[in-house]
């Protein structure tokens, strides 16, 4: 018997498999988000950027906004 993508997805998304997937992935997403949020909040606090600090504290984007802030919007040290 050949398996196609629809059969594999249907087998994975049974209630038991879906729950075990969520239980496995949620801790990783939480740790990922917490690390990036901490770094971004630290950087915003040191730059005394209240609007960014509040936005980063309130908005939860699983690390996306935090990564953008750190690498795009924050001031770079050593660059003039």
Domain ranges of the chain: 5-73
Give per-residue pLDDT as tens, 13-71. Answer: 777 777 787 788 889 988 999 999 999 999 999 999 999 999 998 888 888 889 898 89
Closest CA to 41 of 16, 25, 63: 63
pTM of structure: 0.66
Q: Any idea of the CA torsion for 43, 47, 51, 55, to the nearest 10 degrees?
A: 0
User: pLDDT-based confidence at 1, cuts 50/70/90?
Assistant: low
pLDDT at residue 45 in the model: 94
């Amino acid at each position: 018997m050949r398996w196609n993508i629809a059969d594999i997805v249907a087998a994975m998304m049974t209630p038991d498999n879906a729950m075990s997937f969520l239980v496995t992935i949620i801790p990783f997403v939480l740790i990922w988000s917490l690390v990036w949020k901490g770094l971004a909040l630290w950087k915003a606090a040191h730059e005394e950027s209240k609007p960014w600090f509040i936005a980063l504290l309130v908005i939860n984007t699983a690390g996306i906004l935090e990564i953008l802030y750190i690498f795009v919007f924050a001031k770079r040290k050593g660059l003039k």
